[in-house]
Amino acid sequence: MEATIAYCVKCKAKSEMVNGKEVAMKGKGTTQRRAMTGQCKTCNTTMYKILPSKKA
C-alpha cells in the first residue's frame, strides 16, 4: 500500500499518515471535496490532506 504524505502542523513538516481514510468534505453548495484524514506517524496528531478534484 502506498504511503500517504501530508503536512503535519505539529511537526511543521511533511510526515507519513497512518490510518488514512478517504472522506468527503462539504464545500460550497453541493460541491464535495475529497480529502484524506489520518494520524501523523510521528506525533499522532490528526492530519488532513485535500485530494485534487478530478475535474480541472
Interface with Zn ion by CB under 5 A: which residues?
Answer: 8, 10-11, 15, 40, 42-43, 45
Least distance in Å: CB of 42 to Zn ion?
Answer: 4
Least distance in Å: CB of 4 to Zn ion?
Answer: 13
The three cell numbers of residue 12 are 511543521
Least distance in Å: CB of 55 to Zn ion?
Answer: 31
Q: Which is nearer to Zn ion, 32 or 44 (CB)?
A: 44
Tell me which residue of 5, 26, 18, 25 sits closest to 46, measured CA to CA.
Answer: 18
